[in-house]
Amino acid sequence: MLIAIDLAMILVKLVLIVIVVMASLLIAMYATYAERKVAAVLQDRRGPNRAGPFGILQPVADGIKLFFKEEIIPNLSSKFLFILGPSMAMLTAIMTSAIVPWGDTIHLFGRDISLQIADVNVGILYVFAVVSMGVYGIMIGSWASNNKYSLMGGLRAASQIISYELAMGITIISLLMVTGTLSLKEMVIQQQQGAWNVFYQPLGFLLFLICAFAECNRTPFDLSEAENELIGGYHTEYSSMKLGFYLFSEYINMFISSVIMSTLFFGGYDVLPFVDESAWGLSQNWMAIIGLAALMIKVVCFLFLFMWVRWTIPRFRYDQLMNLGWRILIPLALLNMLVTGLVVLLKMNHWHF
Amino acid sequence: MGITQILFWFLTVLALASAIVVVTAKSPVYSILALIVTFFSISGHYILMNAQFLAIVNIIVYAGAIMVLFLFVVMLMNLNAASEPSKNRILQFIGLISGGCLFLVILAAFMRSDLANSMVQMNEGNAGLIKNLGKALFNDYVIPFEISSVLFLSAMIGAVLIGKKE
């Protein structure tokens, strides 16, 4: 045989990739609908209610509208880079989903199928690498627009993402000290057997949450698209579905960071803390499905938090944003890391100095 | 041909092609983007050699941090193809000769070494996994590791001092 490849394995992974990407897109699509409904509830309005029952077809209508809008590419810009920008934003948003353990293994057609596309042993570092790639979509797009206001918006967004990445990285280090593994799957298994990581790292979770808000460019950190001071941020020159990609990648980022937060701090597909689920006597497949449902419930709670904050808290000024990132979050993350290290070392030494 | 070999050839061609684009591209922004592709394909090679930590750190540090800095500088200074200073002919000639000399030296060194006839070991060895790497760093190489940390710290303080000076 010329090419020795396990075809069945590739097929399974391919199906899994397609399902995960489609599900991410679908959930992000309905996150836009949920955002408008939540905003409407908080502002005492009705929200979208014309397309379909309860306005349920509103995201489809929005998508069709974006597709049919005129596509404008600035004359003096590099066309290739102009298209590459939103594509990169979308790609980096979706790529993180590859290492998320969506559930336990299920048994289908005589095969054990793990509900995780790839269990790489550098798991969380992969997430970090992809997050740091996210800057390129914004920077390339803003530069290729050949517009000073776009460039300024892009630089703002990029420096914000880079600043908050640091605090996020230090927070992850203190989490890694507790778990002792980089693999997300192993972290979930540890949390199934012991307590959820949020009980060990409450400050770490809070810092991670704030950084996740900043990384997703959500209010109160949505400086890059502050409508009243900038023209429109880095996507000023974009129209049609390319603008749609930029806006949509924000919702995918929100979904994925909710999943990552649930996995790192809230037990992933673990159903209840301090409860041994294997004592329920359910079959393997049912447990996997219940685990997936539990993960999704946690994710929906996080998504609601994202929206709740957006429609409650006004945005920061730019210097306040930088002060918060560099003068408060990073020292707090460092303190958290030092205390965690001390406690872990003491525990390894059986609480003797 | 196994999947490892297919990936190896794909990554090799990608790395060399993008490296050539880095040198030949007219616009510095395209050069930087091609350099990012080069870093990714080199990371792919690291993964083939089972050095996953090295691969991911290569992406985080080089592609994720240093290249963003390069891109920042190029975009803020607006180094377009038009404003690029025309290079001296003699300078180009000297560069060609010195680059060729370096290539010859590397080639000669590799021809004489023991590695000359051995293939790269794929999918083997676990020296690059994070557990073994950490143990080696903190047991066998503690002093060099700490010295390099102090070096990094002093570089950081220096950067802050330069930034503070108006």
| Chain segment A284-315, per-residue pLDDT in tens | 888 888 888 999 999 999 999 999 998 888 88
Residue B73 near chain A (CB below 8 Å): no
Helix pair angle (A330-348, A148-179), 10° resolution: 10
Per-residue pLDDT at A2: 46
Per-residue pLDDT at B83: 53
Measured in whole angstroms, how far is the alpha carbon of residue A59 from the centre of its chain? 20
Residue A135 near chain B (CB below 8 Å): yes
In angstroms, the CA B143 to CA B93 distance is 44
In angstroms, the CA A22 to CA A16 distance is 10
Per-residue pLDDT at A3: 54
DSSP result, B49-84: TT-HHHHHHHIIIIIIIIHHHHHHHHHHHT--STTS
Query: Does residue A100 carry a pLDDT above 70?
Result: yes
Q: Give the one of B1, B52, B63 whose C-beta lies nearest to A2's C-beta.
A: B1
pLDDT tens for A234-261 read 888 888 888 888 888 889 999 999 999 9
In angstroms, the CA A197 to CA A210 distance is 17
In angstroms, the CA A301 to CA A144 distance is 37
DSSP state of B2: B
In angstroms, the CA A116 to CA A126 distance is 14
The tokens for A215 are 């990384």
Q: Of A138, A148, A130, A99, which is closest to residue A245 (Cα–Cα)?
A: A138
Q: Using the beta-carbon criterion (under 8 Å), do B56 and A125 form an inter-chain contact?
A: yes
Nearest CA in chain A to B58: A129
Q: Of B125, B50, B141, B130, which is closest to residue A180 (Cα–Cα)?
A: B130
The tokens for A244 are 């749609």
Residue B21 near chain A (CB below 8 Å): no
Provide the β-strand partners of residue A108.
A111
Based on its alpha-carbon atoms, the radius of gyration of chain B, rounded to whole angstroms, reads 20
What kind and span of H or E run contains A114? Answer: strand A111-114
Per-residue pLDDT at A1: 41
Query: What rounded mean pLDDT belongs to chain B?
Result: 84
The CATH class of the B3-128 domain is mainly alpha
DSSP state of A21: H
Q: Of B21, B40, B39, which is closest to residue B31 (Cα–Cα)?
A: B21
Q: Which residues of A touch B63 (CB under 8 A)?
A: 129, 132-133
Helix pair angle (A240-265, A79-95), 10° resolution: 20
The tokens for B159 are 């950067």
pLDDT tens for A122-153 read 888 888 888 888 888 888 888 888 888 888 88
Per-residue pLDDT at B37: 93
Q: Of A41, A90, A34, A24, which is closest to residue A58 (Cα–Cα)?
A: A34
Based on its alpha-carbon atoms, the radius of gyration of chain A, rounded to whole angstroms, reads 22
Contacts (Cβ under 8 Å, ≥6 apart) of A53? none
Q: Using the beta-carbon criterion (under 8 Å), do A155 and B75 form an inter-chain contact?
A: yes
In angstroms, the CA A213 to CA A325 distance is 12
Average of per-residue pLDDT across A92-113: 83
pLDDT tens for A205-225 read 999 999 999 988 887 888 777
Query: Does residue A49 carry a pLDDT above 60?
Result: yes
Per-residue pLDDT at B143: 93
- Cβ within 8 Å of A, B 122-151: 129-130
Measured in whole angstroms, how far is the alpha carbon of residue B6 from the centre of its chain? 23
Question: In chain A, what percentage of residues exceed pLDDT 70?
Answer: 96
| A307 SS3 class | helix
In angstroms, the CA A71 to CA A244 distance is 11
Per-residue pLDDT at B122: 64
Q: Give the one of B3, B53, B68 whose C-beta lies nearest to A162's C-beta.
A: B68
Per-residue pLDDT at A54: 86
Q: Give the one of A3, A81, A143 whose C-beta lies nearest to B1's C-beta.
A: A3
Query: What rounded mean pLDDT belongs to chain A?
Result: 86
Q: For chain B, 166 residues long, give each residue's pLDDT as a single digit of tens.
A: 677 788 889 999 999 999 999 988 888 888 999 999 999 999 998 888 888 888 888 999 898 888 988 888 888 776 555 555 566 788 888 988 999 999 999 988 888 777 666 666 666 667 677 888 888 888 889 999 999 999 999 999 998 899 887 6
Q: How many CB pairs under 8 A join A and B?
A: 65
Residue type, A222: D
Measured in whole angstroms, how far is the alpha carbon of residue B147 from the centre of its chain? 23
Q: Which residues of A touch B27 (CB under 8 A)?
A: 78
DSSP state of B120: P
Q: Of A297, A49, A13, A126, which is closest to residue B58 (Cα–Cα)?
A: A126
Question: In chain A, what percentage of residues exceed pLDDT 90?
Answer: 27
| Predicted complex ipTM | 0.83
The tokens for B66 are 């240093």
* Cα dihedral B123, B124, B125, B131 in deg (nearest 10): 40
Residue B101 near chain A (CB below 8 Å): no
Query: Does residue A231 carry a pLDDT above 80?
Result: no
Q: Which residues of B touch A133 (CB under 8 A)?
A: 59, 63-64
**Angle ∠(A158,B61,B143) on CA atoms, nearest 5:** 140
The CA–CA distances, whole Å, from A176 to A20, A173, A265 equal 26, 5, 11
Domain ranges of chain B: 3-128, 129-166
Q: Of A177, A172, A196, A306, which is closest to residue A251 (Cα–Cα)?
A: A306
B7: closest CA of chain A, how far (Å): 12
DSSP result, A49-72: -SSSGGGTTHHHHHHHHHHHSPP-
Q: Which of A120, A124, A130, A136 to mutate to test the interface with B (most CBs of B within 10 A)?
A: A136
Q: Which residues of B touch A162 (CB under 8 A)?
A: 65, 68
Q: Which residue has the tokens 């990029």?
A: A158
Residue B97 near chain A (CB below 8 Å): no
